[in-house]
Amino acid sequence: MNNNHVLKREKKQGRSTTAIHAGYHSDPQTGSLATPIYQTSTFVFSSTEEGARRFAGEEDGYIYSRLGNPTVTVLEDKIAALEKAEAGLAFASGMAAVSAVLMALVRTGDHIVGTKGLYGCTYGLLHFMKDRFQVQYSLSDMTDEASIRQNLQPTTRVIYVETPINPTMELVDLKLVAKIAREIGAYVVVDNTFMSPYLQRPIEHGCDIVIHSATKFIGGHGDVIAGVAAGPKAIMDTIRMTSQKDIGGIIAPFDAYLLIRGLKTLGVRMDRHCENGQRVAEFLHQHPKVAKVHYPGLPQFPQYELARNQMDGFGGLLSFELKGGKEAGIRMMNNVQLCKRAVSLGDVDSLIQHPASMTHSVIPAEEREKMGITDGLIRLSVGIEDIEDILEDLDSALSFA
């Protein structure tokens, strides 16, 4: 019910150029370079007949901002272009995107296979859908083909992947998952939040739908809650007119504007996140008080070659364990000065948190252990501050561990 359409790309552009220019050309009437904020709930029809045609789906155009909004459309088209998808959708939060996509794809009795270590709220949603709607789920480490196949059922409808997995940073081979899904007629849905479309594009590897908590790297400045999804136009249209429209997890025009603005610096931010993340990982790997570092950019990382083949960079997220365990981790976290003790990630600020007691606390301890989320694990989202300042802060805090 809006003018969202399959994007036509006659020229291949770089990722930063696409992030800046896709989806919007300066307003022909005003010449506005920035995308206007269409802060309106409804839209006026030129005639009764025009309104009827739009409601019938016979004519593109806007009706009501829950069904589509010009500012939101620019964001959706940008995300689709960046993810190399046919169409995009924007939501009020990352979990609004996750729930809308899954609810549109599965029915009672269907089965979902998800990666172990799922984001806590995604895990909670799967448990809720099982309890209330009898949608079954299994969690798999997905480290190889056998581990994926052993969790498949005749009713498997969706393979839901996070890669890197939060917060252990384990990777999933997207091409392998897509191959298996095609064999059984299932959809592959990938939460691409940790990488952003600048560093990883799952659709290029054969996956169907990509989801982001746009709060993170896409927004990048810690000032908006939002989610996006991208995939085939037919599926996106179905989601738009069912689980998004009727449940109502739509994004506000101003929040869409903030994400559009954030996308314009995505490339330079991600390059800095990668550069800083690599330096921090190497520093922690050599530190005498650190037992283990989980970061795909370290040659010691078990899936280093997969990371090099599947991603365009290693990102700014890492996790690590201290030799002194949980208590040492608490002392270290309580003594950081530059890094902020806060959940979320992908911000320009460096953020540090304790998954077992924070983001993954909803998951039973026994299940967390199976996921590799020990009580002593710390997750760090490396920001874009000057690297020497980040390293000095960590080194100082580690002296208390």
According to DSSP, the residues that pair with 88 across neighbouring strands are 230
Name the 3-class secondary structure at 239.
Answer: helix
Half-sphere exposure at residue 335, Cβ-oriented, CA atoms within 13 angstroms: 15
Domain that holds residue 387: 266-398
196 and 335 belong to one structural domain: no
Average pLDDT estimate for 185-208? 98
In a domain, 391, yes or no: yes
Q: Are residues 258 and 344 in the same domain?
A: no
The enclosing domain of 372 has a CATH number of 3.90.1150.10
Dihedral, CA of residue 8, residue 11, residue 228 and residue 109, to nearest 10: 60
Question: Which amino acid makes up residue 263?
Answer: L
Is residue 259 domain-shared with residue 130, that is, in the same domain? yes
Active site residues: 66, 119, 191, 216
Q: Is residue 28 part of a domain?
A: yes
Beta bridge partners of residue 112, listed in sequence order: 137, 158
Beta strands (DSSP E) in 310-382 are 317-322, 340-341, 351-353, 377-381
Edge-to-edge strand order for the sheet containing 340-341? 290-294, 317-322, 377-381, 351-353, 340-341
3 pLDDT higher than 80: no
**Is residue 134 a contact partner of residue 164, using CB atoms and an 8 Å limit?**
no
> Are 319 and 377 a contacting pair, CB within 8 Å?
yes
Query: Does residue 375 share a domain with residue 232?
Result: no
- The model carries a pTM of 0.93
Mean pLDDT of the chain: 94
Q: Which residue has the tokens 């059922």?
A: 153
Domain boundary among 263, 293, 314: 263
Residue 272 and residue 143 in one domain: no
Residues 151 and 275 in one domain: no
- How far, in Å, CA of 312 to CA of 318, rounded? 16
Residues 185 and 274 grouped into a single domain:
no
CB 216 within 8 A of CB 56: no
Q: Determine, yes or no, domain membership for 6.
A: no
Dist CA 63 CA 43 (whole Å): 5
Task: Note whether residue 282 is domain-resident.
Answer: yes
Question: Please, which pLDDT band fits residue 11 given cuts at 50, 70 and 90?
Answer: low
Query: Is residue 2 one of the residues assigned to a domain?
Result: no
Cα 77 from Cα 281, distance rounded (Å): 35
Q: Residue 106 domain-assigned? A: yes
For 81-94, what is each residue's pLDDT tens digit? 999 999 999 999 99
The torsion of the CA quartet 111, 117, 121, 126, rounded to 10 degrees, works out to: 10
Mind listing the pLDDT tens digit for each residue in 373-395?
A: 888 899 999 999 999 999 999 99
Q: What type of residue sits at position 366?
A: E
Same domain, yes or no: 238 and 276: no
The pLDDT score that the predictor gives to residue 105 is 98
Q: How many domains does the chain have?
A: 2
Of the pLDDT bands very low, low, confident and very high (cuts 50, 70, 90), residue 358 is confident
Question: What is the sign, positive or negative, of the torsion defined by CA atoms of 361, 363, 369, 373?
Answer: negative
Tokens of 337: 């000065």
Residue 302 forms part of a structural domain? yes
Tell me if 7 is assigned to some domain.
no
What φ, ψ does residue 311 adopt, rounded to 5°?
Answer: -125, 155
Residue 7's pLDDT band (cuts 50, 70, 90): very low
Answer yes or no: do 138 and 225 share one domain. yes
| Residue finishing a domain among 263, 293, 327 | 263
